[in-house]
Structure 1
Amino acid sequence: MLSPNQIDEYRRKGFLVQERVFDEEEIRLIKAGAEQEFAEGGERVTVEADTDVPRGVHGCHLHAEAFGRLVRSRRLLPIAEQLLQDQVYVHQFKINAKRAFKGEVWEWHQDYTFWHHEDGMPEPRALTAAIFLDDVTEFNGPLTFVPGGHGGGEIDAEVEGDGWANTLTASLKYSIDIDTMRQLIARNGMAAPKGPRGSVLWFDANIPHASVPNISPVDRGLVLITYNSVENRIDLSRGTRPEWLAARDFTPLTAMHAASF
């Protein structure tokens, strides 16, 4: 569980890093599972523009036992419940693979914009736990945040394209315009949390964030688990995306106490 100081930091900044939550053997197992997911291909896998280099894969916890255990980890689930002050379920699970010299930009955006407009999530009572599968440095495309930027709520976004498939492309369907970002950054600054593999980065549904290309010879892989309050379940009549992008099972998760994860 987080300390009061850690909770205060998360509330104030909109993000928090816990270093070395998972050990080397656990990260090796998670990475092996991730590579298997990428190798299977199919509609759940997206690639970098004009290449066959994997960019991400979604919904792995729905069929891979290891990832099903991971979302219920006693090192993740109790903290998600603590921060959201409620029981939770997994709204979305994805693995981002920002490959060495290949991983490209993610534009400035808020995750909640996608979850609200595409999935029918009523309120931003959700958060994401990002597990570092590699050491994250200033060179391999770390996530970059506007500290405290979540405090202003949802920001009007520029909309590009139609349909849910555009929510997965490099040119995001919902992005924050440059003038708005300039004002936010002038007021709040920027931060790019870094840390060793096995660390966990928690961040708020409304915090503006982006990432630059990976210009290094080192991969920057992330497992991103989005937990949502069970009281904030999505409106199925409004949702447009498939289950591997937006969950349909709102059963509260229970922590797993087995040795693995």
Structure 2
Amino acid sequence: MIMSGYEVLTRLFTATEVARLRDAVERVHADVVAAAEAGETRVTVWPDGHRLEEIGGTTIHWEPDAPGKAVRSLSPVSGMSPVLDALWTDERLTGPMAALLGVAEVGPFVAKLNFKRAGVGSEFAWHQDFPFWYCCAGDAAYDVATAIVMLDDNTVGNGAMTLIPGSHLAGPAPRDPADPTGLLVDPRAVDETAAVTVEAPAGSVLMFPGLMVHRSAPNRTATDRRSLLFCFQPAGRPELSALTYDADRLADLPSAQISAGRLHD
């Protein structure tokens, strides 16, 4: 894992555990959506047109082009289900994550639910998680890594994660000048010939650091692809919910200017 930067733990959770997690996820989803429909919310529209709606301590990221209303993600979800919260201290996650981060003990940064619903789950372009976290946590963002718990089989057809192994070693990647959020990786800086799509059965876990360049394709199949994302950091640091997003920090990271066919930071 040191050079590639990622690890896949196949069937880390049993079928019974996965079923319990799915039930908890769908209850959280239903409660949040019902609260949003019934109560006053705060709506934010990002520069790329994506609509976010804050309600009950979490934020709904709606699918931008789906007919009707479909949830793309919920974040944060800590404290919304004891079944989900138990994963923060599950040694099957904390042990490998401590090894990945090179620390004795890990703690929570943020927990998130990702949904790629059947037929409408959208793609996510090449990116690193790091720039968003850096805008909140500064240099502490270098010490954040993600464990993705797969609640459904992940396949090429339903948008399984695609990674560029070793890309984390190059640090913050040049960003896409066409992206109004300033958070996506410039696709011209990505060596797609090295890309690996991680197909794995439900119950498997994919772990990688925040500097890993990755993307996911849309889900055009007839079944959902749901994921739990638990982002860990060294123990004792503030969680993402206690931090403030500051877009000005992006100026400290490499830009994505390309001139005469060459990348310049």
Among 9, 19, 23, the alignment partner of 1:28 is: 19
Separation of aligned partners in 1, 2:79 and 2:243: 22
- The one of 160, 171, 177 aligned to 1:153: 171
Unaligned runs of 5+ in 1: 1-9, 162-171, 242-261
Alignment partners' CA distance in 1, 2:216 and 2:148: 14
* 1:174 corresponding residue in structure 2: 183
1:1-261 matches, within 5 Å, as 10-40=1-31, 41=33, 42=36, 43=54, 44-51=59-66, 52-86=69-103, 87-158=105-176, 160-161=179-180, 173-181=182-190, 184-186=191-193, 189-230=194-235, 239-240=244-245
C-alpha deviation, 1:231, in angstroms: 7.1
**Equivalent residue, structure 2, for 1:255:** none
In structure 1, give the amino acid aligned to 2:157: F
Shift of 1:138: 1.3
**Deviation digits for residues 77-113 of structure 1 (CA, Å, limit 9, x no counterpart):** 1221122122221111111110111101101111111
- TM-score normalised to structure 2 length: 0.76
Contact conserved, 1:112 with 1:154, CA < 8 A, in 2? yes
Q: 1:118 to 1:158 in 2, by over 3 A?
A: farther
Runs of 4+ residues deviating >3 angstroms: 158-161, 230-238
Instruction: Tell me if structure 1 keeps the 8 A contact 2:88–2:107.
Output: no
Q: Deviations over 1:199-227 (max 9, x none)?
A: 01111210100111112112111101000
- Residue correspondences, number: 218
| 8 Å contact kept, 2:61–2:74 | yes
* CA distance in 2: counterparts of 1:53 and 1:236, whole angstroms: 24
CA contact (8 A) 1:104 1:214 kept: yes
CA–CA separation in structure 1 for the residues paired with 2:126 and 2:73:
17
Contact 1:95 1:221 in 2 (8 A): yes
On the 8 A contact 2:152/2:225 being kept in 1, the answer is yes
Please report the RMSD computed on the Cα atoms of aligned residues, expressed in angstroms.
2.3
Q: Percent identity?
A: 26
Could you say if the C-alpha distance between residues 228 and 31 of structure 1 is closer, same or farther in structure 2, counting changes exceeding 3 Å?
same
SS in 1 for 2:22: helix
Structure of larger gyration radius: 2
1:46 alignment partner AA: H
| Per-residue Cα deviation, 1:148-191 (whole angstroms, up to 9, x for no partner) | 11110111323755xxxxxxxxxx6500112212xx335xx100
1:3 aligned residue: none
Paired residues of 2:153 and 2:225 also in contact (CA < 8 A): yes
Does the 8 Å CA contact 1:127/1:202 hold for their aligned counterparts?
A: yes
1:121 and 1:232 in contact (8 A); partners too:
no
Q: TM-score, normalised by structure 1?
A: 0.77
